[in-house]
Amino acid sequence: MDINVTKDGAKLQIVLSGRLDTNTAPELDAELKAQAEGVTELIIDLTDVQYVSSAGLRVLLAAQKEMNKVDGALKVLHPNEYVMDVFEATGFVDIMDIEQ
């Protein structure tokens, strides 16, 4: 998985490509923790993510919880059909701002 990070003040944008799974979720988690200070707007672009496992979902859920703690916002952009199906099946569509 590739992780591209852009930080502009309180806004953090992360563009992912590849698979967000057991092997790669720790990389995203570490990047989020490294960049978290002062962030109140988090954008995660999943345009080029083909697959999300339960480990990836845990990282996204943890990011949502962190944004809730600081009264911030998390937006997930452009999940493919498969990833969107996973979000719908797990109820993530009810707790996250997901833009297709």
Give residue 21's pLDDT band: very low, low, confident or very high (50, 70, 90): very high
Percent of the chain with pLDDT over 70: 100
Residues 6+ apart with CB under 8 A from 49: 1, 16, 17, 18, 19, 20, 79, 80, 83
Output DSSP code: residue 72. -
The pTM (predicted TM-score) of the whole model is 0.96
Give residue 12's pLDDT band: very low, low, confident or very high (50, 70, 90): very high
Output DSSP code: residue 90. H
**Smallest Cα–Cα separation from 48: which of 22, 23, 14?**
14
Give residue 42's pLDDT band: very low, low, confident or very high (50, 70, 90): very high
Give residue 50's pLDDT band: very low, low, confident or very high (50, 70, 90): very high
Mean pLDDT of 71-86: 97
What would the pLDDT profile of 52-74 be if each residue is shown by its tens digit?
Answer: 999 999 999 999 999 999 999 99
